[in-house]
Amino acid sequence: MTFDVNVLRSVIEEVMKEMNVEAAPAAPVSPVAVTSKLSLTEGGDAKKGVAADEVVIGLAPAFAYKQHKTMIDLPHDKVLREIIAGIEEEGMNYRFVKVYNSTDLGIIASQGSKLAGSGICVAMQSRGTTVIHQRDLLPLDNLELFPQSPLIELDMYRTIGKNTAKYGKGESPEPVEILNDYMVPSKFLIKSTLMHFKEGKMANRDMAPIDLEVKF
C-alpha cells in the first residue's frame, strides 16, 4: 500500500505537535463536558464497588471529550448506548469510570475491574478498541479482546455488553466472534497514529480513576 508523500509529511508534523503538547503538564479537565449527544459529569475518585451485580465501563482519557467517534466514525454516544443495552438485557447494573493515568487499554481495564463490584470491566479506547477484563487477571491478560476497532460495528458492541454482564454473573458465555483483516493496520495507520496521540494528550499520570456520570 502506498501513501502520498505530502500527506505523510503533514501527518508527521501533526504528530510531532501532539508529542510536544503531551510532554507539557496536562491541562485540568472541566468537571462537566457537554457534547451534542452526551453530558459528562466527573465525580470524585472512584471507589471499589460493593454490589455483586455491578460491572464497570472504563473509558480512556479522550473518550467523548476530545474525540467523539471511533476509527470508523461510529459516534461514541451510540457505542455507549449499545454497550449499556447489552448489559441491561442481562439484568446487570453498570458504572462509568474515566481513567486518565494511562492510554493502555489493558491497564484501563485492569483498574476498572478492580473497582467493579462484580470484578468485571469492559474498557474502551477512543478509537473503539475494546476489552473485557476480570479483576484477578494481569493487565495484559483478558477475558475477550477486540483489537481491530475498524471491524467493530454497533451490533457487536451490544453483544460485547451482553457478554460483559454474563461474566459479571459468573457465567461462561460463548466468546464474541472476532473478525480479522490483515490489511486493517495498513489501511488505518495514519488515522490510528493521530488518534493515539490525541488520546495521550488527555492523559495525566497523577490522576486516579474517577467516577463519571453519563447522560444522553
**Percentage of the chain exceeding pLDDT 70:** 83
- Structure confidence at residue 22 as a pLDDT band (50, 70, 90): very low
Q: Does position 186 have pLDDT exceeding 80, yes or no? A: yes
What are the backbone dihedrals phi and psi of residue 122, each rounded to the nearest 5 degrees, phi first? -110, 125
- pLDDT: which is higher, 11 or 88: 88
With cell 444522553, the residue in question is 216
pLDDT value at residue 215: 93
Least confident of 27-36, 57-66, 71-80, 91-100: 27-36
Determine the Cα–Cα distance for residues 103 and 60; give it in Å rounded to an integer: 6
Of 216, 208, 215, residue with least CA distance to 98:
208
- Structure confidence at residue 211 as a pLDDT band (50, 70, 90): very high
Contacts of 38 (CB under 8 A, 6+ apart): 64, 76, 77, 80, 214, 215, 216
Determine the Cα–Cα distance for residues 209 and 158; give it in Å rounded to an integer: 25
Q: Does position 8 have pLDDT exceeding 90, yes or no? A: no
Q: How far is CA 113 from CA 1, 45, 94, 116, in A?
A: 39, 15, 12, 5
pLDDT value at residue 180: 83
pLDDT value at residue 56: 98
* 215 CB-contact burial (10 Å; exposed 0-12 / middle 13-18 / buried 19+): exposed
* 22 CB-contact burial (10 Å; exposed 0-12 / middle 13-18 / buried 19+): middle
pLDDT value at residue 26: 46
Averaged pLDDT score across all residues of the chain: 88
Of 171, 104, 100, 101, residue with least CA distance to 134:
171
pLDDT value at residue 103: 96
Asked if residue 113 lies in contact with residue 95, where contact means CB atoms within 8 angstroms, the answer is: no
pLDDT value at residue 201: 93
**What's the CA angle centered on 147, arms 142 and 148, to 5 degrees?**
160
Residue-wise pLDDT for 98-140, tens only, equals: 999 999 999 999 999 999 999 999 999 999 999 999 999 999 9
Q: How far is CA 119 from CA 39, 101, 155, 161, 215, in A?
A: 27, 20, 25, 15, 24
With cell 462537566, the residue in question is 32
pLDDT value at residue 2: 47
pLDDT value at residue 35: 58
Q: Does position 11 have pLDDT exceeding 80, yes or no? A: no
